[in-house]
Structure 1
């Protein structure tokens, strides 16, 4: 994980995670199901993601951990088979995503080279094999390259949407042309996996400069992606006949660029799709899938988790790649999408429930995660109902859920492995440090006072209220007459290894700041 992550980096991780290839794969499928109401379908799916991001934001502030989703589930439901099974389901969900990205890579590439099915299968096999080899030897894409790629993908989508809006035929978007409400929701939920990825921001909790940027990064990333997806859907259904979209379903986004940008637009989007889906396969293999596998194997993240390689679990990389190859080469796009979206709707349902269950440890409005839980459950139910007519589409999803808990139960029985109470040992160390704040706070006061001679320092926040179990750090109010930004930075830098949040406030505002804090205690040298 990149250290000292700021808002821009966290935002980039979230947007890059969502626009990782899903939209390139499932746009045509969504239009096929929801027809001209596809923009509404994308909006509904996005709103569920946005509400769920609230739960992720609150949980990631209170429990900053590279374990992210798994850590939150363990904190809420314990470290038994249930949490372990959900971790396996999360891992299988990422395997489905690798399959989806590879399927999209093969579809766009085959259409560019030759419209033969065999070419698609060759490309699917080649791209998974390539990134499996790359990850096995630890040759990873740099953070700067990832940021540039995110900017490239986002720019392409915005250009396609912006230019295409000038050619949209409003009559094709009239409510009279929409499908029934159930089909709209089903169309949104089958492509819900296009929003999977915002939760990756939560995995940066231990590495952000300021935990307060996490909610801003989560909400802004989801909102930006919702806007882009809805605009792309509007352009697609507003400029292309329904029959054309269905015919080019597997590469519909490239087709959507043709009316406004011609062959150049088609080629540009195709190249963007190849780059995007390829990088998404790499990012999933070396990031999220690896974390879930490590937890499944060891019960926690190893101490050297910062080394982003599969050195400790080459067999995991091989298993994930083989399953992805089989799924991408044998299942159709609809079955893969149902399995992926269904898996993440289940995971997000339990994350919302986790936030609700842990509400007494979080600064949270319980109505929001409750709404998230209700909406994710309802969305999953409608997706299952709508897809029930095609047994194959549900078979993979049902198989994934059953296999998750069966694998966890068998692995526990045969190895004795249990999920650790703390998935990320750094979170355990952080919480122990906060609980023992009285033993080191004098050193912090002495250090700040040494740098700023006239500083008055007060303990505030959850610790001052005696609610240490709710604290994600120790808040100190530092009242000064005048202090430069450089000096503030120097103080923050000196305390960077401690869970301390220094709030520099002008002495003139002391009375109002203490009144707002309500509970506080003057700390002397």
Structure 2
């Protein structure tokens, strides 16, 4: 989730927070970390490629607010795209000419958005390979910059005497909050993650913590190496300028290249991923089944619309306008995700306290951002006003909520239907187990064993066999059972194979025996 945000918005944070810029990034990161708790809980319970919108829909239904939030999320992605394009143009122009050139910057903005729009029209294979390469290069260069720059920091620039008032520090973090939004993309991949109950929360928390560390470290190095007047002069490409004191012109060029690659890959990923999801939901009311092919087929006009609006925003607004609008949009959306988790706490097995803290924290942060910007630079709220007003007006006029289905992702609908009728499926599944493992004892586990259907995200069975199976035999055995029972790949059945000596593992899983050796419990004697 380390996108192009750090290259684009670092200068804004340093201008507001000065020597406390690392603290500002930490504040924004803590809000993201609390919100990631809600995302983790919701993604485990409702795995869906619809991600954010699916969670809001599950909590609040297909009304005006969820439909508007989908449009707001789509508009926020457009703002993110324009931020990346703006940064690409800024860094690209100074790399090519050695100084800022507004005309060249605008030309580069148009070129980069058009290029990745064309690549997305070609299909996902080319896009996916390009993304992998650019992400690896970007992270390596950032780590190299941080390691060398840390050894050349001037501690005096980081002293509390260099700190502005606390409100400026807080706003310095909030104005760049959009740089953290990438963690929510993990939710859209929940259906592809093995053992999601364990791995999804780890992925969310590890991603946010790693990015907090990188962003705070990069801010520390930048502030510690660059005088404030240089930050003011080079605010649109401050990270490249920060490399010059300890790496010279080569460092400036290296970070400039990293910025160009990073922002380009971020444009690519946003067009390829969640922006496409929000558009398809707005158009169809759900993700069409052909969506599994991971291309824009059936919605090519959406890709063109997004590209045109991105170019218009990047050419029309300055960096602060873009950043305020994007951060405000994501703070509002993330507040509602936290409130969704709060409302569904019983279903997601979540603690209400972090969900409430996340929701209230995001809303208060949005208010602080608006009030402070209104007092210090009211013109920077121009794009945010358009973002909120235009998206709400669009929803009122076109009423996309009328097209909303009960579920965004049809696979989640089938999963929930499967779990609602799990007892009907059990007979077929037990017959399949018996046909392949005659000496199996079978136990029903977890929420369904406790009669807690609302909190169940899978049908979990333990199969106890007299012989211990290898990992490959376990995978092959589960595939055979699924095939024999006629289950689809997305049906939420999990089978844990155990040896009799491992039965103590069953205790914390509320195990309920449903099949004796050679026959199901309750079956007639042979």
Aligned residue for 1:20? 3
Is 1:67–2:53 an aligned residue pair? no
Aligned residue for 1:286? 272
Is 1:44–2:27 an aligned residue pair? yes
Select 1:137's aligned residue among 122, 125, 131: 122
Aligned CA distance change for structure 1 residues 320 and 345 (closer, same or farther; 3 Å): same
Whole-angstrom distance in 2 between the partners of 1:258 and 1:194: 24
Select 1:489's aligned residue among 441, 450, 475: 475
Deviation at 1:149, TM superposition (A): 2.5
Deviation at 1:135, TM superposition (A): 2.3
Whole-angstrom distance in 1 between the partners of 2:195 and 2:209: 21
Q: Secondary structure at the match of 2:41?
A: helix
Aligned residue for 1:439? 424
Deviation at 1:371, TM superposition (A): 1.1
Select 2:510's aligned residue among 505, 508, 518: 518
Whole-angstrom distance in 1 between the partners of 2:96 and 2:490: 53
Whole-angstrom distance in 2 between the partners of 1:478 and 1:176: 65
Whole-angstrom distance in 1 between the partners of 2:364 and 2:151: 36
Is 1:240–2:236 an aligned residue pair? no
Aligned residue for 2:411? 426
Native 8 Å contact 1:43 1:230 kept in 2: yes
Unaligned runs of 5+ in 1: 1-14
Q: Which has the larger radius of gyration?
A: 2
Q: Secondary structure at the match of 1:196?
A: helix
Aligned residue for 2:379? 392
Aligned residue for 1:33? 16
Select 1:148's aligned residue among 117, 133, 136: 133
Native 8 Å contact 1:65 1:71 kept in 2: yes
Aligned residue for 1:309? 295
Is 1:116–2:101 an aligned residue pair? yes
Native 8 Å contact 2:64 2:401 kept in 1: no
Aligned residue for 1:252? 238
Whole-angstrom distance in 2 between the partners of 1:141 and 1:21: 20
Aligned residue for 1:343? 329
Aligned residue for 2:86? 103
Is 1:191–2:176 an aligned residue pair? yes
Whole-angstrom distance in 2 between the partners of 1:490 and 1:206: 20
TM-score by length of 2: 0.92
Is 1:85–2:68 an aligned residue pair? yes
Select 1:352's aligned residue among 330, 338, 346: 338
CA-to-aligned-CA distance 1:309-344 (integer Å, 9 cap, x gap): 323122222221121111101100000000000000
CA-to-aligned-CA distance 1:487-508 (integer Å, 9 cap, x gap): 1121343434431122233422
Corresponding pairs, count: 505
Whole-angstrom distance in 2 between the partners of 1:142 and 1:288: 14
Aligned residue for 1:500? 493
CA-to-aligned-CA distance 1:196-226 (integer Å, 9 cap, x gap): 1110000012222221211111110111111
Whole-angstrom distance in 2 between the partners of 1:497 and 1:307: 15
Q: Secondary structure at the match of 2:19?
A: coil
Of 126-135 and 271-280, deviating more is 126-135
Native 8 Å contact 1:31 1:245 kept in 2: yes
Whole-angstrom distance in 2 between the partners of 1:427 and 1:54: 21
Deviation at 1:404, TM superposition (A): 1.6
Q: CA RMSD in A?
A: 1.7
Is 1:473–2:458 an aligned residue pair? yes
Whole-angstrom distance in 1 between the partners of 2:346 and 2:360: 20
Deviation at 1:484, TM superposition (A): 1.1
Aligned residue for 2:396? 409
Native 8 Å contact 2:5 2:179 kept in 1: yes
Native 8 Å contact 2:285 2:401 kept in 1: no
TM-score by length of 1: 0.92
Native 8 Å contact 2:442 2:515 kept in 1: yes
Native 8 Å contact 1:80 1:418 kept in 2: no
Is 1:276–2:267 an aligned residue pair? no
Deviation at 1:418, TM superposition (A): 2.4
Whole-angstrom distance in 2 between the partners of 1:470 and 1:98: 37
Native 8 Å contact 1:28 1:251 kept in 2: yes
Deviation at 1:479, TM superposition (A): 2.7
Q: Secondary structure at the match of 2:514?
A: strand
Of 262-271 and 451-460, deviating more is 451-460
Whole-angstrom distance in 1 between the partners of 2:353 and 2:96: 51
Deviation at 1:190, TM superposition (A): 0.4
Aligned residue for 1:362? 348
Q: Secondary structure at the match of 1:304?
A: helix
Aligned CA distance change for structure 1 residues 505 and 259 (closer, same or farther; 3 Å): farther
Unaligned runs of 5+ in 2: 483-488, 520-526
